[in-house]
């Protein structure tokens, strides 16, 4: 790539805004994960995101706005049930796929008829969006395929030397990407499960949603592997399964209980109290920490498959896909 540049981590919203106005790429905090942001209306700026992240241009980006009202120039309309969701979860970890207007450059969504829109719930980023006055295109601020970042040092580890600024908003409160929803054949469809569970969506619209059945609108998602640590990762239902596979040089990401036979320093619990929300917030941090230990193999325990547990299991499953997942 190009020459290395100095990457500064700080809390200066005005500096971040200036850089974005100059078509630079800046990492920004959200309540889900850190984003790699650029002016969505500038083809030159958006192109830099794909280059820095090493992501194929065919994988479309989400545009971030300070309110759903400010989405008006970029979307043709919003279906009533999606308005109900936007109203309920705004600002928050909900991304809507909506029919786009000509104001959205093709580079953002690879020329698709829809654009993904989200109003993130983080005070610094909301202030930044108000200041710049244009939408920010932003994928998660990780290298393509690697673990998403939930704190500034995760971004620095992967992208230090390639971007000028990381806006430090502390650790991400939700810790897992937004839920991506749209509307097809008269029904709400979930393309990517995330920080809002199926159950929470259904409670708002008061009917069943369609879980992504692989419609051709969709790239969301979702490549077979994603969110992956470098260390081979296997999923297990419970800690006894590991014994069959061997515990030499092994690390364990558990839900609420340590594995009795593994060294404590090679283990992380997502939530000792058994709380799904806490587990989601700790998931990527745990994967980063375990990967940094450079062990031979990692095991991660599946969570109960309900509520946010389903979203966490989806990410674990994709993180484990390189090893063929479970055994
Ligand atoms: O929580 C989040 O959503 C984070 C923060 C930074 O906002 N962003 C994020 O972006 O996760 P990214 O690019 O890592 O994931 C966005 C997903 C991708 O899988 C992409 O394929 C899908 O949304 N997507 C975006 N626009 C789309 C479109 N027009 N049609 C179909 N899928 C789309
Ligand atoms: Mg991502």
Where residue 18 falls among pLDDT bands split at 50, 70, 90? very high
Instruction: Please choose from 98, 111, 177 the residue to mutate so as to test ligand 1's pocket, defined by most ligand atoms within 8 A of CB.
Output: 177
Count Cβ atoms below 10 Å from residue 156 Cβ, excluding itself. 17
Q: At what angle do helices 80-88 and 198-205 cross, to 10 degrees?
A: 120
User: Which two three-digit tokens encode residue 142?
Assistant: 């990780």
Encode pLDDT of 238-280 as tens digits.
766 676 666 788 999 999 999 888 889 999 999 999 999 999 9
Average pLDDT in the 78-100 region?
Answer: 97
Q: Which atom of ligand 1 is nearest to the CA of 176?
A: 1
What is the number of the ligand closest to the CA of 184?
A: 1
List the strands of the sheet with 297-301, edge to edge: 233-236, 297-301, 250-254, 267-269
Radius of gyration over alpha carbons of the chain, in Å?
19
CA angle 141, 65, 52 (to 5 degrees): 25
62-64 and 136-137 strand pairing = antiparallel
- Is 220 a residue whose pLDDT tops 90? no
By the 10 Å C-beta count (0-12 exposed, 13-18 middle, 19+ buried), 149 is classed as: buried
Query: CA 255, CA 301: separation in Å to the nearest integer?
Result: 7
- Nearest residue by C-alpha to atom 31 in ligand 1: 218
Count Cβ atoms below 10 Å from residue 243 Cβ, excluding itself. 13
User: What integer pLDDT is reported at residue 248 of this predicted model?
Assistant: 80
User: What integer pLDDT is reported at residue 238 of this predicted model?
Assistant: 73
- Is 13 a residue whose pLDDT tops 80? yes
Residue 180 CA from chain centroid, whole number:
10
Lowest average pLDDT, out of 55-59, 155-159, 194-198, 261-265, goes to 261-265
Non-local (6+) Cβ contacts of 251 within 8 A are 231, 262, 266, 267, 268, 290, 293, 295, 297, 298, 299
Whether pTM > 0.85 for this model: the answer is yes
CA dihedral 226, 202, 256, 144 (to 10 degrees): 10
Query: CA 281, CA 284: separation in Å to the nearest integer?
Result: 8
Q: Which helix (H) or strand (E) holds 262?
A: none
Residues flanking ligand 1, CB < 6 Å: 30, 32-33, 35, 59-62, 93, 95, 97, 109, 112, 114-116, 118, 120, 138-140, 177-178, 180, 192, 218-222
């Amino acid at each position: 790539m190009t020459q290395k540049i100095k990457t500064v981590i700080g809390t200066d919203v005005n500096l971040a805004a200036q850089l974005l106005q100059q078509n630079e790429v800046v990492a920004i905090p959200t309540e889900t994960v850190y984003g790699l942001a650029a002016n969505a209306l500038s083809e030159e700026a958006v192109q830099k995101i794909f280059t820095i992240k090493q992501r194929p241009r065919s994988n479309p980006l989400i545009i971030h706005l300070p309110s759903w009202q400010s989405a008006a120039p970029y979307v043709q309309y919003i279906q009533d049930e999606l308005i109900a969701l936007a109203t309920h979860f705004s600002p928050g970890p909900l991304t809507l796929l909506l029919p786009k207007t000509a104001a959205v450059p093709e580079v953002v969504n690879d020329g698709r008829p829809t654009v993904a829109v989200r109003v993130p719930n983080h005070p610094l980023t909301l202030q930044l969006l108000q200041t710049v006055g244009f939408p920010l295109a932003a994928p998660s601020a990780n290298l393509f395929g690697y673990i998403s970042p939930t704190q500034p040092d995760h971004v620095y580890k992967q992208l230090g030397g390639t971007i000028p600024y990381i806006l430090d908003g502390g650790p991400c409160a939700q810790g897992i990407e937004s839920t991506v929803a749209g509307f097809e054949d008269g029904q709400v469809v979930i393309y990517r499960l995330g920080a809002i569970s199926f159950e929470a969506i259904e409670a708002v619209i008061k009917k069943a949603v369609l879980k992504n059945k692989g419609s051709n609108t969709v790239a969301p998602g979702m490549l077979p592997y994603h969110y992956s640590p470098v260390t081979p990762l296997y999923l297990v239902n419970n800690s006894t399964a590991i014994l069959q596979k061997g515990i030499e040089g092994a690390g364990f990401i558990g839900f609420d209980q340590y594995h009795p036979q593994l060294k404590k320093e090679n283990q992380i619990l997502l939530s000792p109290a058994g709380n799904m929300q806490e587990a989601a917030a700790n998931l990527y941090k745990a994967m980063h920490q375990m990967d940094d230990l450079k062990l031979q193999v990692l095991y991660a325990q599946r969570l109960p498959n309900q509520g946010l547990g389903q979203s966490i299991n989806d990410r674990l499953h994709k993180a484990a896909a390189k090893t063929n997942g479970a055994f």
